Amino acid sequence: MKIELTETQKNILDFLIDQIKGKGIPPTLADVAKHFGYKNRATVQQHFQAIEKKGYIRKNPKLSRGIELTLEEKFFVPKPVLGEVAAGNPLTIYPDAIDTIELPTIARMPKDSFLLRVKGDSLKDAYIFSGDIVIVNPNLEPKNGQIVAAILDDAAVVKRFYKKKNEIELVSENPEYKPIIIDKKYASFKIVGLVIGVYRSMDKKAV
Amino acid sequence: MKIELTETQKNILDFLIDQIKGKGIPPTLADVAKHFGYKNRATVQQHFQAIEKKGYIRKNPKLSRGIELTLEEKFFVPKPVLGEVAAGNPLTIYPDAIDTIELPTIARMPKDSFLLRVKGDSLKDAYIFSGDIVIVNPNLEPKNGQIVAAILDDAAVVKRFYKKKNEIELVSENPEYKPIIIDKKYASFKIVGLVIGVYRSMDKKAV
DNA sequence: ACATTTACCATACAAATGTATGGTATTTTT
DNA sequence: AAAAATACCATACATTTGTATGGTAAATGT
């Protein structure tokens, strides 16, 4: 349906999305021009025209900042650049560890965070279920008691984090599960990031 | 901390929030003037100045639509105008029915939806826990198998919806709970809306 | 080889936009 | 009773902003 964008157009669209998601308000032509080092607004104008023609955006003519994304009727926009984005991502180091990873964009998500779609029920002791989306920030230092996403022994877990003297303890919400103690034995242990939120879409669950 | 707003200022701030949340982009002075029937942009300008002085908004000077809400550093903004806003809302019909309702605003939510913060564990059979946010769309017709928020007998429930010949059945996820059958006996039954999503913030849960 | 698309530049212009200033009437505070 | 805040109006002005038009050079498609 949608026609392919060129590299430049993709970059501009990405910047557009970034601004809308991050700042909450679409940029002006001048904003975009400045960001890409264009000396001229008309350049951006023409790119927007091209992008609009390909169906990715809609313009409210004569309106300042009147650019809308056609993409999102929904909460989550499956990023078309998924493959490439994941490549630059901390997660790629463990591409197989987490069952299935999708990187949708959610509005107003902190810029440095990413989303993981949880598949499998291995995380349900943290009230997180298959199909849920966890919002993970890899740049936040987890404090004791916070929930982290971590990899150990090729499995992904979401648990409460406690740092002790010589070890790290990962505690489940569910008391049935015993805490996992991380010490030197675990060579393949890595904190992926701090889980700052969970989202679950009900849309498709109707069976 | 925050100084009280006047009635007019409150209305204008509400409209501002409405626009930012609903349309995704702040209105111009002219937009606001038009909406309130002011013949003059300067009137709005002055109201904004007053509202800014009281600390509710921030203005990026010289920037079109450069108004920001001071309110929201977070995902969810507990609406300070809750009472009044709720007044124009479908929910107000049952002001006491749902344990505690907060009407936070989330960016880029489908325009006609609203959020309910769930308090109390009465909804946990749908994997929804105290503190979670459910996203409810009152304008979508629930189909069989979808999750709805409903009011019956002064209690709010979130359950799977099934329409039968002469009755409506509300089924829990958890088989321990028996389905609720709605027939003519329930005078005070009302579907609030279709639950299209659940969000949970992990931020504050660190104990 | 020729046409089209892409990716920029420059200039010009009307409309939109934020802002400044001054004014009037009413309400609230002191 | 006087001062301050509120709620509007009008006019004027400099920018910002979107848009239109025309041009150049390189890449791509046919």
Considering chain A, what is the average pLDDT of its residues? Answer: 65
Contact B119, B131 (CB under 8 A): yes
Q: Which residues touch strand C (CB under 7 A)?
A: A 6-9, 33, 36-43, 46-47, 50, 62-64; B 28-31, 41-42, 45, 59, 61-66
CA distance A10 to A5: 6
CB contact under 8 A, B20 and A24: yes
Q: Which nucleotides of D are covered by protein (CB under 7 A)?
A: 6-12, 15-22
Rg (CA), chain A: 20
**Minimal CA–CA distance to A32: which of A49, A23, A19?**
A19
Point out the least confidently predicted range of A176-180, B94-98, B126-130.
B94-98
Helix (H) / strand (E) element for B134: namely strand B133-137
d(CA B196, CA A115) in angstroms, rounded, equals 18
Residue nearest D14, CA–C1′ metric: B62
Identify the three-state secondary structure at position B204: helix
Residue B183: how many CB atoms within 10 A of its CB? 11
The answer to whether the CB of B172 falls within 8 A of the CB of A173 is: no
- Can you give the pLDDT at residue A58? 84
Nearest to A151 by CA among A189, A195, A95: A189
Report residue B102 as tokens.
């907060």
Which residues of B lie inside 8 Å of A (Cβ-Cβ)?
20, 24-26, 28, 64-65, 68, 75, 106-110, 127, 129, 143-147, 194-203, 205-207
Taking 90 as the threshold, does the pLDDT of residue A7 lie above it?
A: no
Q: How far, in Å, are A110, A133, A173, A205, B163 from residue B180 at the CA level?
A: 40, 30, 30, 20, 12
**Among A108, A109, A196, which would you mutate to test the B interface (most chain B Cβ atoms within 10 Å of its Cβ)?**
A108
- Mean pLDDT to the nearest integer, A153-165: 71
Check if the beta carbon of residue B173 is closer than 8 Å to that of residue A127: no
| Radius of gyration over every alpha carbon of chain B, rounded to an integer in angstroms | 20
**pLDDT: which is higher, B180 or A200:** B180
Amino acid at A179: P
- Of the given ranges (A56-70, A159-173, B66-80, B94-108), which has the lowest mean pLDDT? B94-108
Digit-coded pLDDT (tens) for B23-42:
767 899 999 999 999 999 99
In three-state secondary structure terms, B24 is coil
Q: How far is CA A144 from the centre of its chain?
A: 24
Confidence of residue B114 (pLDDT cuts 50, 70, 90): low
- Note the pLDDT of residue A72: 43
pLDDT of B145 above 60 = yes
Q: Which residues contact A64 (CB under 8 A, 6 or more apart)?
A: A28, B28, B64, B65
By CB atoms closer than 10 A (0-12, 13-18, 19+), residue B147 is buried
Top-confidence range, A65-74, A77-86, B81-90? A65-74
Q: What percent of chain B has pLDDT over 70?
A: 48
| B205/A18 Cα distance (integer angstroms) | 29
Q: Which residues contact A150 (CB under 8 A, 6 or more apart)?
A: A156, A157, A158, A159, A161, A170, A189, A190, A191, A192
Q: What is the mean pLDDT of residues A35-56?
A: 89
Reply yes or no on whether B10 is catalytic: no
- What is the C-alpha separation between A45 and A168, in angstroms, rounded? 53
DSSP A29-47: HHHHHHHHT-S-HHHHHHH
Query: Which residues make Cβ contacts (< 8 Å) with residue A48, sequence separation at least 6?
Result: A12, A29, A57, A59, A67
Q: Name the catalytic one among B54, B122, B130, B190.
A: B122
Mean predicted confidence (pLDDT) in A44-48: 91
Cβ neighbours, 10 Å, residue A105: 20
- C-beta atoms surrounding A206 within 10 Å: 14
Q: Is the per-residue pLDDT at B195 higher than 80? A: no
pLDDT level of residue B77 (50, 70, 90 thresholds): very low
Residue A160's pLDDT band (cuts 50, 70, 90): confident
B189/A94: higher pLDDT: B189
